[in-house]
Structure 1
Amino acid sequence: MQSPLFAHTEVQTAEPFALQNDKLLRVRLDGGRDVLARKGAMVAYQGRIEFDAEYRPRGGNRRRTREALDLMRCSGDGTVFLANLAQDVHVVDVGREGLTVDSGYVLALDPTLHWEVISVDSQYGISGTGKYNLLITGQGQVALMTSGKPLTLQVTPERYVSVDSDAVVAWSTALTVQMQAQTSSSGVWRRRGSTGEGWELNFAGTGFAVVQPSELLPPQDARLGGGVRGQFGMDRPTHGNIFSN
């Protein structure tokens, strides 16, 4: 049997996190190294791999953290392939500066990393770009997802950056962040007049902000049989949008 299909063979690398392709993450496990992955993200595996669906992080508010990032622990010897509805996957090395990310865009992360749930307070006292955001610190890697190819904007003291709160994926933790809507307080829940724009995040300091070319909710809550809204997890409350509160 012959076909160009058979050219898409497994990437051979010793790296623990590697991209099999733009939409598929390859994670190498060697018995002493585990990975924390979003529940339901496994599409294939090789070797002797165990999946612990009852994984709970150490410390912190268990209920809030579980809602923010529902994980399974993958352990053993072999290779695990992770994906989520053909979203683009990006591997990020988390350094000393830390990373703040909307939990809806996390595919997998090293268990050596530390994370906690935080909120971004707006001038109107409303929290978050989504219901939850994660502050990730430590040494390790995290795999993020975007709907399409992202844009990374550099922020400097001389160059402020403003982004749509529904499009932002992650940003440098060192940045100063303010959330606001360019509308009157009486119309705070409306999209910005007739422009279709709503809340925005304003970044200042030194670092970067990552946005995706989509304002759709991340589709990790997709369900079959729910039409277009169900496909993108929009037929029930989600964790990815301030308007779901």
Structure 2
Amino acid sequence: MQSSLFANAPAQTAERFSLQNAHMLKVQLGNGHPQDCLARVGSMVAFQGAVDFDGNMRSGAEQAAAAATGEQLNLMRAVGTGTMWLANMAQSIHVLSLDFDGLTIDGQYVLALDSSLTWNVVALESSQSIAGAGSYQLDIRGNGKIAIMTSGKPLVMRVTGGNEAFADADAVVAWSTGLSIGLEAQATSQRVYSRRRGTGEGWNMSFRGEGYVVVQPSEMLPPADFITSGGWMANRGLGQQGGMQGNTWGQ
């Protein structure tokens, strides 16, 4: 049997975390690497070797934080000796090495991480809740690797003391924990409560300090219940199955 398909054989690398391709992560377990890894629930697409999967037990503090804020990491634990491949909805994957520094990120963008890393839920200092940024984020710290996901190839902006950065709050994925952030409503001079009417650019996030900001080329999608065939809108004739120009969200 011959085909160009066979060019997609397992990538040959000794790295703990590596990219099989832009949309699939390869993770080595054992054989000189740690024998366990935390990964997004349901993200395993293939594995070789003796690898077991189990739910990850959350501490009491993690459970309390999840209940209070809704921000959490839904993780499974892979243990053994072998190789596994992870993916989620063909999203783009990026591997970062944390060297006792911190990354602030929404839990939905985390694919996998070393169990040596720790995380806490942190609140954004704003009275507003933004679709992409949310009111709470995860502060992940320690020494280890983490794989994050974006919808498409991201922009990574360098922020320095004299170089403040701004981004659409619905497109921001993650940023260096040491940055100072702000949420700003853009108002016109004519009406203070008019937030750039007609532009769809009502909220910005500002970043100051020293670090990086990761921005994806996609803004936050509407809630899943609004776009699935059996969702709230579809059941009322407004979703993918008809009504209101077929689909309110243009899908």
Aligned to 1:143: 147
> 1:220 & 1:24 partners in 2: Cα distance?
23
TM value normalised by structure 1? 0.82
Check 1:62–1:82 CA distance in 2 against 1; reply closer, same or farther (3 A cut).
same
| Higher relative contact order (Cα pairs below 8 Å, separated by 6+ residues) | 1
Q: Give the counterpart of 1:49 among 48, 51, 56.
A: 51
- Which digits, 9 at most, give the CA deviation of each residue in 1:13-56, with x for residues without a partner? 12110100000000011174211111011111111111112x12
Aligned to 1:198: 202
Amino acid at match of 2:26: R
1:113 is displaced (CA, Å) by 0.2
Aligned to 2:65: 64
Is the CA contact (8 Å cut-off) linking 1:154 and 1:209 kept in structure 2?
yes
Sequence identity of aligned pairs in percent? 48
Check 1:164–1:108 CA distance in 2 against 1; reply closer, same or farther (3 A cut).
same
TM value normalised by structure 2? 0.80
Q: Give the counterpart of 1:177 among 170, 174, 181.
A: 181
Amino acid at match of 2:30: D
Is the CA contact (8 Å cut-off) linking 2:128 and 2:135 kept in structure 1?
no
1:12 is displaced (CA, Å) by 1.4
Q: Give the counterpart of 1:152 among 150, 156, 162.
A: 156
Amino acid at match of 1:202: S
Check if 1:109 corresponds to 2:113: yes
Check if 1:98 corresponds to 2:102: yes
1:94 is displaced (CA, Å) by 1.1
In the alignment, structure 1 segments of 5+ residues that lack a partner are 236-245
> 2:141 & 2:87 partners in 1: Cα distance?
23
Amino acid at match of 1:148: G
Larger Rg: 2
The number of residues matched between the two structures is 225
> 1:89 & 1:220 partners in 2: Cα distance?
22
> 2:19 & 2:223 partners in 1: Cα distance?
20
> 2:144 & 2:100 partners in 1: Cα distance?
10
Query: Which residues of 2 match residues 225-244 of structure 1 at below 5 A?
Result: 225=229
Is the CA contact (8 Å cut-off) linking 1:36 and 1:73 kept in structure 2?
yes
> 1:222 & 1:80 partners in 2: Cα distance?
34
